[in-house]
Amino acid sequence: MSRERDDEAAVAGIRSSLRAAAENLEATHAPDEALARFVPARRALLVMRKPAALIPLGRVWRLGVFLLGVPPVGAGQPGVSPAESAPTGFDVTLYATGKTTRAVDPLYRGFQSVSAETRRDYRGAAFRGPFERGETIDFDAPALELDADSLRSSSGPLLLRDGEAQVRWAATIGTATVPFDAYLAERVDLLVHPPPGA
């Protein structure tokens, strides 16, 4: 029973830390990025091809292995910060990072690798979408379940270990983790106070 209480307290701490981080990032006008859903190219009526598209879902702040957004995730208007699109007393949504692209002209197709052509399709979808030119768009970013049961068995970047929130910050490091609050504080500070030349 004590472990369950510890885990529930850790989850409450995660939510509180995320709300404080979002409020800090919003108050300091930290740079944010678009969040979108990728829809691959498809044929319609066996003749016309519908091009790939990136459908805006909202705005997020990039915090290392996480993307932090504020519900409601919806319209995703360029230039609107996550906190501006949320009601007072907002709660936050945490995502694992997925893929990224930029809204730039994809130029022409060449004789390139499949992965290069895939990245070109992503850029084309972003360029045709309602995004600012040159903007970074995050997509295929799964929302993380912020409950004790999910975090106890998590294989993603956020997990609970012995009643403590931990971050698995690199897939290649096996079971090594760092404390969530320290990781989050460092990432927020880097976004609010970027190093010179960044």
Residues 182 and 160: their CA atoms lie apart, in Å, by 15
Residues 83 and 19: their CA atoms lie apart, in Å, by 10
Three-point CA angle 107, 118, 141, nearest 5°: 115
Q: pLDDT tens digits for 77-129? A: 444 554 454 444 557 899 999 999 999 888 766 667 888 888 888 999 999 99
Query: Residues with Cβ < 8 Å from 2, sequence gap 6 or more?
Result: none
Q: pLDDT tens digits for 29-46? A: 999 999 999 999 887 666
Q: pLDDT tens digits for 134-184? A: 999 999 999 999 999 999 999 999 999 999 999 998 867 777 899 999 999
In the chain, where the domains are located: 2-192
Give yes or no for a contact between 23 and 61, defined as CB atoms under 8 angstroms apart.
no
The maximal CA–CA distance of the chain, rounded, in angstroms, is 62
